[in-house]
Chains A and B, each alone.
Chain A
Amino acid sequence: MSIKPGFSKDEEQLLKQIAASVIPPSTERSLPGADDEEVFQRLYSNTTDALNSLLNAFHELLESEGGISAASHWKAEKFNDWISNQIESWPAQSHVFFKLFFPLIIRAYYKDERVHKAYNRRPGPPFPEGYELSDEDWGLLEEVRGRPSLYKSCD
């Protein structure tokens, strides 16, 4: 089922395939890929304003590759090379779709609590728990204490 109007099932599948290539899952780090359902839902809901532009750009991209059927056929064979090219040429030479897609998928991905956890950040809103901040070594200030005045006296 297409989640958002404007994407056919095939299109969404291709979009997810692209997403998984740009941010792949990592079992070693316990990280989902960007094709993860939750991440995608967030992409759609975060992106309300930009979604139309993203959709249009996606359709343009498909057209430039000969349509979805050609793309799916084509992706099976050369997908990895094609996506690597797009990644390497980002942002200057890449298709406008990728210019839009990369920041948007990052916004959706790095809000994910599983991602936060994997990087030692407590998931959820910062308030009310807050965080610890170490007080470290105030002895470092000894070098500065007692230095002559730095300010100009104007008397």
Chain B
Amino acid sequence: MKDVDVLIIGGGASAAAFAWSLADTKMKILCLEQGDWVDHGNYPAMSSDFELRDDFSFDPNIRKSSADYPVNNEDSDIAAANFNGVGGGTILYAAHFPRLHPSDFRVRTLDGVAEDWPIDYETLTPFYELNDRMMGVSGLAGDPAYPPKQAPMPPIPLGKSGSALARAYNKLGWHWWPADCAINTTEYEGRDKCINIGLCGSGCAQGAKGSVDVTYWPEAIRQGVHLKTNCRVQEVTVGPDGMATGVIYFDANGNTHRQSAQMVVVACNGIGTPRLLLNSKSSLFPDGLANRSGLVGKNLMFHPYATVEARFKDALDGSRGPLKGIQSHEFYETDTARGFVRGFSIEMHRGHGPLTTAMIGLLTGRLPMGTNHHEAYSQLADRIMAVAAVCEDLPEESNFVSLDGSLTDGNGIPAPKINYKLGENSRKILGFAEARGRELFEAAGAEEIIRTQSPMPMAGWHNLGTARMGTDPEKSVVNEWGRSHDVKNLFVIDGSLFVTSGGVNPTSTIQALSLYIADSIKTRLSNASLFD
């Protein structure tokens, strides 16, 4: 393809929103995605093998499709998770769609740690609202944990699991509210409503979950955006003037191509983006592109999860219904009496399918083999529920993404290595959160706690902070509207931008940010100040 105006790398959550927003400029926009469109007819929910499908695992090292790159997790307390294909992580995400709190943008001012964001909640509010409409969000107005907001669809039904938990929250006097979820509870924009398949985490066969392959992408493509699949970008190239000139990428057959562009936008997520920038070395940028601050890849934040699983006497929903339902922000804001700063939200994890239930039973010693097997299983079937605390992780330079010395993807491009140890504050939050999970289940009248994990070792699905935004080029990689401090036609729009992690799932904020950056670009296009 000839020179394009805008070249987006990656076709996930942020890229789709950004491409759609920019499409009305009528610029020539091309997106290169290393994976393919996902065939909804192949989702696990379509087969009775639905609990056994490694091809929809969230672990790229298990999935090992040609679109995947391996990740070295050896030096990490938490292993990275993702999905590579059109839709990115939204193909597998649980679609829990909370916003950050206003305080999340002011952590330095309020708590004396980390940095403040260069923007605030009010700046993002119109983009949160627009994004909720585009993604199709269900929820309920009136949540005291947030400034006023209104989701376009009513909330997900409580179900038996949600009710059991709600009663426990009320008993303890803790906050709870129906969770905002990008899941249709009514027919919405031509997509059907949720039929409670319960497999949000391995792709929604009904199309009721707002993954961007069914929300933004069709709209963006209709408006003229070109999305090319099976194209893996190896590096972003720069000219002698230090401006990005385009990319070199591999096609499905392993052939390399050059694509030139006026503007390059990186949207490969909090691990893929630093990987690409670090792989884009040149004489002008010997330490990786846009890395004069030395912060590309640094300050990696996950949300460490503390999960508590309990067994109930009576049957709950099992895996019928969306994984998420209600949430609590009782412990979200800092209370120094707790011995740590910041906090966490608590999510409900509704339940498990038959096979997963049996495996958990076996691994936790609740499902003996032999004569008592069936009796024990009947005490577990549809009776396990979990809560997960999504804990705020503070940015620390010692937690970072680097390039692995020997591991490569199918095209020979160096793979990322995760260097991540839980910080002191995160450990304290995890301990406190686990205790609250136990307290909650006790109040819910659970028979017993069967398992706790803090941190949950496989839960590196929120990859944040590795090319953060800020006004100071020494302390950040991009400016307050996503443009690289070092390369004036290079933008980052994904989870890498996060300055702090907050204690909620990030995708709603990631997309609001990418819409806000697209809008900032449009404003500067109109007054010709984009590359100043």
Contacts and interface: CB of A to CB of B under 8 A. Distances in A.
| B interface residue count range (under 10 / 10 to 19 / 20 to 34 / 35 or more) | 35 or more
Contact of B48 (A125, A128, A138, A148): A125
B124 to A, nearest CB: 13
Interface stretch (A2-10, A64-72, A103-111): A103-111
Nearest to B165: A140
Given A29-B378, A131-B321, A141-B166, 9 more contacts: A106-B358, A119-B377, A125-B46, A133-B157, A136-B163, A144-B175, A144-B177, A148-B144, A149-B144
Interface of B: 43, 45-52, 101-103, 105-106, 109-110, 120-121, 140, 142, 144-147, 156-160, 162-163, 166-167, 169-170, 175-178, 194-199, 205-206, 315, 317-318, 320-321, 329-330, 332-333, 354-355, 357-359, 362, 367-371, 373-374, 377-378, 381-382
Contacts of B51: 110-111
Contact of A126 (B50, B52, B166): B50
A143 interface: yes
A110 B358 contact: yes
B370 A22 contact: yes
Given A106-B359, A150-B333, A144 B46 contact: no
Given A150-B145, A152-B102, A84 B370 contact: yes
Nearest to A29: B374
Interface of A is mostly: loop
* Majority secondary structure, B binding face: loop
Give 4 nearest A-B pairs by CB, closest first.
Answer: A130-B195, A131-B320, A22-B369, A133-B321
Nearest to B159: A133
A113 B196 contact: no
A133 B144 contact: no
A23 interface: yes
Contacts, number: 174
Contacts of A22: 369-370, 373
A57 interface: no
A125 B27 CA distance: 44
B198 A102 contact: no
Contact of A127 (B45, B169, B359): B45
Nearest to A26: B374
A130 B157 CA distance: 15
A133 B169 CA distance: 21
B369 A87 contact: yes
B371 A24 contact: yes
11 contacts: A119-B377, A126-B45, A127-B197, A133-B157, A135-B159, A136-B159, A141-B178, A150-B144, A151-B102, A151-B146, A154-B110
A36 to B, nearest CB: 14
Contact of B170 (A102, A140, A154): A140
B369 to A, nearest CB: 4
Contacts of A90: 369
